[in-house]
């Protein structure tokens, strides 16, 4: 896989089917797109928000006549995600796209790598994985807290995608745990990036060597209900995608060519 060609071919990261059978796509390079139930070429919905181009479109979910999606950075593209980690980028955004007016609105700015997004069953709030902060945040869509943002849960690693279950709780995939480089102060990491040392290469090597698989199930109030872990990383590691269907967890990785299936008790 040649990361230098991703911007030509596109890289779908978030996928959601609407009730009508349309597939909505968050493409890292081409923005928010949609394709009909019969397939065919994808159609662009938006490539900008708040007057700024989408730079790293990531995940997507549905509200009431609105699509919520994340733009992970306005400075870095997906092929530069390791540099995003090391730099401690905080230019990410949560955006809404109105399906009636066809307008995009920036809801939250200055996020540290906003990643997966999941809307609650009653559409009263949504959750966003803020990867570099190692946490999930909650944005209230309606109700007495409408418009407010709060921490939902702190996590032991970098969360990637998050998905609602039929039980109305949430599965979140932990992509990796912080190594010694990521534990350095962000200003130190930024200074090291200016030196002629292969910091990004070191990070990738350590991440692959030390990675272990972890997923967590979260309740509606942010409580941790269940943790599943491959602490040796022999089968599952560097996880990104997660979905529960009929008692089975389906797991994917944004960097490894594999799909995993785990049967729940």
CA nearest to 63, candidates 129, 124, 4: 124
CA nearest to 26, candidates 169, 173, 168, 161: 161
* pLDDT per residue as tens digits for the range 79-104: 888 889 889 999 999 999 999 999 99
- Report how far residue 228's alpha carbon sits from residue 247's, in angstroms, rounded to the nearest whole number: 14
pLDDT in the model for residue 201: 75
Mean pLDDT value of segment 226-241:
92
How large is the C-alpha radius of gyration of the chain? 18
Q: What percent of the chain has pLDDT over 70?
A: 98
pTM beyond 0.85, yes or no: yes
Q: For CA atoms 226, 232, 234, 239, give the dihedral sign.
A: positive
Mean pLDDT over each residue of the chain, to the nearest integer: 93
Res. 194: pLDDT tops 90: no
- Report how far residue 211's alpha carbon sits from residue 128's, in angstroms, rounded to the nearest whole number: 23
Res. 1: pLDDT tops 60: no
Provide the pLDDT confidence category of residue 195 given band limits of 50, 70 and 90.
confident
Res. 255: pLDDT tops 90: no
Tell me the H-state helices in the chain. 6-9, 81-87, 186-193, 199-210
Question: What domains lie within the chain, and their CATH numbers?
Answer: 1-154 (2.120.10.30)
């Amino acid at each position: 896989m040649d990361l230098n060609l991703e911007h030509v071919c596109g890289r779908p990261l978030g996928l959601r089917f609407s009730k009508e059978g349309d597939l909505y796509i968050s493409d890292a390079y081409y923005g928010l797109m949609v394709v009909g139930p019969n397939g065919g070429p994808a159609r662009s919905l938006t490539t900008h928000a708040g007057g700024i181009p989408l730079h790293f479109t990531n995940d997507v979910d549905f509200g009431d006549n609105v699509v919520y999606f994340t733009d992970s950075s306005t400075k870095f593209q997906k092929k530069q995600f390791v540099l995003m980690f090391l730099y401690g980028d905080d230019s990410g955004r949560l955006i809404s796209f109105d399906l009636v007016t066809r307008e995009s609105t920036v809801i939250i700015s200055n996020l540290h790598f906003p990643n997966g997004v999941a809307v609650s069953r009653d559409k009263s709030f949504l959750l966003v994985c803020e990867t570099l902060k190692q946490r999930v945040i909650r944005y209230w869509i309606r109700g007495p807290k409408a418009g407010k943002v709060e921490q939902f849960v702190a996590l032991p690693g970098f969360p990637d995608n998050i998905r609602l279950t039929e039980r109305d709780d949430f599965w979140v995939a932990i992509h990796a745990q912080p190594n010694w480089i990521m534990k350095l102060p962000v200003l130190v990491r930024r200074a090291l990036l200016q030196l002629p040392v292969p910091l990004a290469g070191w990070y990738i090597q350590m991440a692959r060597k030390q990675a272990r698989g972890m997923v967590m199930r979260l309740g509606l109030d942010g409580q941790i209900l269940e943790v599943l872990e491959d602490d040796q990383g022999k089968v599952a590691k560097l996880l990104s995608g997660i979905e529960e269907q009929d008692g089975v967890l389906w797991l994917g990785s944004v960097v490894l060519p594999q799909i995993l299936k785990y049967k729940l008790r």
